[in-house]
A and B are shown apart, each in its own frame.
Chain A
Amino acid sequence: MSTAISPLATLALGVLGLAAIFFHMLPMQLVPGGLVVPDILLALCVAWVLRRPDGAPLLLVAALVLLADLTQDQPTGLWALLSLFVVEASRGHIEAVRNRPFLYEWGAFAGLLALALVLQALVLTVALVPRPPLDVTLQLFAMTVVAYPLVVAVLHLLIRIRAPKPAERSRRLGRVA
C-alpha cells in the first residue's frame, strides 16, 4: 500500500460522493412500497478503493459515510461504521481482487454487504431498536448488489477510474520494493 495520495482522484471521489448523498436526498421515496434506492455511496467507495486506493483516503471515506448517515433518518453512526468496515475490508484484499475476474470482486462485495446488514440487524436487536422489515433489507441488499457493476462500469468507461495495468503494477512494485 503506497502512502502517496493522488489529489485529483481524491477530489473526484469527494465530488462523486457528495453527488451520491445528494441523490439519496432527492424527494423520490415519499411513497412507501416503491423500489428501494440502492446504497450508491457504498458501492462507489468500494469500487474506488479497489481501483484507486491512493484516491480514497480513510478520512475522506469516513467523512462521506458519516455525512450520509447524518443526512438520512436512521440510527446515527451505525451504518457509517459498517460502511467503513466494508470499505476497509475491501481495501484489505485489493491484491486478491486485482488478479481475478470481476465476478470475484462482485461476489466479495455482496458477501461483505450481507455481513454488514446482518451485523446491523444484530446490533439493532441488542440495542432494542425496532428493526427494519426484512423485505426492505433484502431489497436494499439486492438493489445495491445489482447497482455495483453499474457503478463500476460508469467509473471505468466515463470517469476512467481503472486499476493499474499489469505492466504498470510490476513497475510500481519494483519501485516500492
Chain B
Amino acid sequence: MSGSKDEASAMWRAVRRVLLVGICLICVALFALWRIDNPRVTTLRMALMDRLLPSFEWTLAPITGLSRMVTDFEELDRVYERNRELERELQQMKGWREAALQLEEKNARLRALNNVRLSPRVSFITGEVLTDSGSPFRQSALLNIGRIDGVQDGSATVDGLGLVGRVSGVGERTARVILLTDINSNVPVIIRPSGQRALLAGDNTNAPVLDFVEDAAQIRPGDRVVTSGDGGIFPSDILVGTVATGPSGRLRTRLAADYRRLEFIRVLRQTPAEPIPGTGDLIGPMLPPVATGPLAEGGE
C-alpha cells in the first residue's frame, strides 16, 4: 500500500513540475510579448479590466468614499485658513474676470476683422476615476468610460482646471489615463509669456520637469505653462500649470490639476483637422504621355 502511495506522490510531483514550468513559460512569453508588442498586451489588459471592473464597482464605491472622507477630514483643520485665502483670491478674480470679458469682446472684434477660422472644435466627455491602476512605479488611473463612449487612444484629459494626462489604453467601457507625473509621460508645452517651447517630462514626483528649454534665462517662476499642440496629439493652449524652480535649480511645473482629488476627469475629443493628401502640384498639370513618349524613344 505504501508503495502505491509513493508512486502516486511521485507522479503528482512530476505533474506539478510540468505545471510549474508551463506557468513560468507563460509568464516569460507574456513579458516578451509585452516588450515586443506593447499595444496588443494593453488591449488584452483593458479587455480583462472591462470584465473585472463591473464586479468590483459596487464594492469600490463605499471604500473609495471612505478613503476620501479620511483625506477630507485631514484637511478640515485647514478649511478656515483656506476660506480666507479663497475670498482674497476671489476679489482678485473678479477684477480679472472683468478684464477677460473685455479682452474676449476685443478679440471677437479683431477676429471678425481678420476673418480668422479657429482650430477644429474640441468637445469633451466626463468620466469618473474608478481605480488607481498604477503600480508603485507607475502613475495612472482608470476611468469608467471607454470606446463606446467615444474615448480615443491618446486623447488629452483635464480636470476642471488643467491637464491631467493622456489616455493610453481604451477598453469597451474603461480607459486608462497616464498621469503627467508618470515617468513615461512627455508632453510638448509652451511657456507663456516668453513663448519658449519645452517638454514636460514626468519623473514620479509631484512637479514634472521642464526639459529641453531653449533659453532658461527667459523663464521666471510663476510663468504659465500651456500645451503647445506640437505632435498633433493634444489640442494647444490647455493650461498645464505654473513654472517653479526645484531645490536643485531645475525648472519644474506646479500642476494646475488637483491630483489629490481626482474624481471626475474630462476626456477631450478633438475633431481632427482634415489631412492634406499628397504634395501640391506646383509645377503645373502633368504633361500627357504622348508628348514625352517619342522623345524618350528617340533618346535611346
Question: Which residue numbers of A lie inside 8 Å of B, CB to CB?
Answer: 1, 3, 22, 24-33, 36-37, 58-59, 62, 66, 70-81, 84, 88, 123, 127, 129-130, 132-133, 136-137, 139-140
Whether A76 contacts B34 by the Cβ 8 Å rule is: yes
Q: Could you say which of B27, B60, B64, B135 contacts A77, with CB atoms under 8 Å apart?
A: B27
Whether B179 contacts A30 by the Cβ 8 Å rule is: yes
Whether A26 contacts B136 by the Cβ 8 Å rule is: no
Q: Which residue of A lies closest to B262 (CB)?
A: A30
Q: Could you say which of A70, A123, A139 contacts B136, with CB atoms under 8 Å apart?
A: A139
Whether B259 contacts A37 by the Cβ 8 Å rule is: no
What A residues does B262 contact at CB under 8 A?
27, 30
Whether B35 contacts A71 by the Cβ 8 Å rule is: no
Q: A33-B206, A36-B136, A140-B136 are in contact. Are A26 and B60 (CB under 8 A)?
A: yes
Question: Which residue numbers of B lie inside 8 Å of A, CB to CB?
Answer: 8-9, 12-13, 16, 19-20, 23-24, 26-31, 33-35, 41, 44-45, 48-49, 52, 56, 59-60, 63-64, 67, 129-141, 176, 179, 181, 183-184, 203-206, 259-260, 262
Q: Please, how many angstroms separate the alpha-carbon atoms of A97 and B183 in the complex?
A: 40
Whether B35 contacts A127 by the Cβ 8 Å rule is: yes
Chain B nearest CB from A86 CB (Å) reads 13
Q: A31-B259, A33-B206 are in contact. Are A72 and B134 (CB under 8 A)?
A: yes
Whether B206 contacts A73 by the Cβ 8 Å rule is: no
Whether A84 contacts B139 by the Cβ 8 Å rule is: no
Q: A26-B67, A58-B16, A66-B27 are in contact. Are A74 and B135 (CB under 8 A)?
A: yes
What A residues does B60 contact at CB under 8 A?
25-26
What A residues does B26 contact at CB under 8 A?
66, 77
Q: Which residue of B lies closest to A68 (CB)?
A: B135
Whether A71 contacts B49 by the Cβ 8 Å rule is: yes
Whether B23 contacts A76 by the Cβ 8 Å rule is: no
What A residues does B45 contact at CB under 8 A?
70-71, 76
Q: Which residue of B lies closest to A28 (CB)?
A: B67
Chain B nearest CB from A89 CB (Å) reads 12
CB<8 Å pairs between A and B, sample of 7: A1-B13, A27-B132, A27-B262, A73-B140, A77-B29, A127-B35, A137-B137
Whether A62 contacts B260 by the Cβ 8 Å rule is: no
Q: Which residue of B lies closest to A78 (CB)?
A: B31
Q: Please, how many angstroms separate the alpha-carbon atoms of A44 and B100 in the complex?
A: 57
Whether B31 contacts A76 by the Cβ 8 Å rule is: yes
Chain A nearest CB from B75 CB (Å) reads 13
Q: Which residue of B lies closest to A177 (CB)?
A: B2
Please provide the 3 A-B residue pairs with the shortest distance between their CB atoms, ordered closest to farther. Answer: A77-B30, A132-B137, A81-B27
